[in-house]
Amino acid sequence: MAVLRGLRSALDGIYLLAGILASLCLVAILSLIVVQMLARWTGEVFPGAPEYAGYAMASASFLAFANALNRGSHIRVSVLLNVVGPKTRRIIEIWCFGIGSAIAWYFVYYAYRFVYWSWKFNDISQGLDKTPLWIPQSVMLFGATILAISLTDHLVHLFINGNHRIKSDVIEQSFGE
């Protein structure tokens, strides 16, 4: 039991860490935009700033997925789930998490291959920055892997305990009514 609690704590820590890294990517985007504005005002050139901001945006998106899922921030259409009984609800949720997990792991597999071939062929960006593309692609792969782990975690939790671990934010949901 202590091992499972440790695993649960580690997974929750990974999801939180990914969310923190996503927020740092957003700060990096802001910093890049401000530095690029200052460079333009002074007549200087900051080569690669748009590309780095794009990499940071993709990184922020993929790193935030698992944390947003656990906090109930993803859009879930629960109209059907609210009108069915508990057994049917559980079956539908198992089906949804199963399909979501399968798609996420499928994406991770092909993202890994994408990163591998970018690294193997030394693929670089076409902008002025000449960044090896496997570096920003690796962050995308990392975030996608954490999302796949999170979806699988919820699926396993649904099988074992009968419910998922997504926190419902009732205050956020009440504004839509």
The predicted-structure confidence for 165-175, as pLDDT tens digits, reads as follows 777 655 455 45
The least confident of 26-35, 72-81, 100-109 is 72-81
> For residue range 43-66, what is the model confidence (pLDDT) as tens digits?
888 888 888 898 999 999 999 998
| Statement: the pTM of the whole predicted model exceeds 0.95 | no
Residue with tokens 């009968």: 162
Q: Where are the domains of the chain?
A: 2-172
Half-sphere exposure of 43 (CA within 13 A, CB side): 0
**Confidence (pLDDT) at 160:** 86
The dihedral through the CA atoms of 122, 24, 51, 31 has a sign that is: negative
**b/e map 7-21, b = 16+ CB within 10 Å:** eeeebeebbeebbeb
Point out which residues pair with 124 in neighbouring strands. Answer: 132
For residues 164 and 156, what is the distance between their CA atoms, to the nearest angstrom? Answer: 8
> For residue range 95-133, what is the model confidence (pLDDT) as tens digits?
989 999 999 999 999 999 999 999 999 998 887 778 898
Point out which residues pair with 132 in neighbouring strands. Answer: 124
Burial class (CB in 10 A: 0-12, 13-18, 19+), 126: exposed
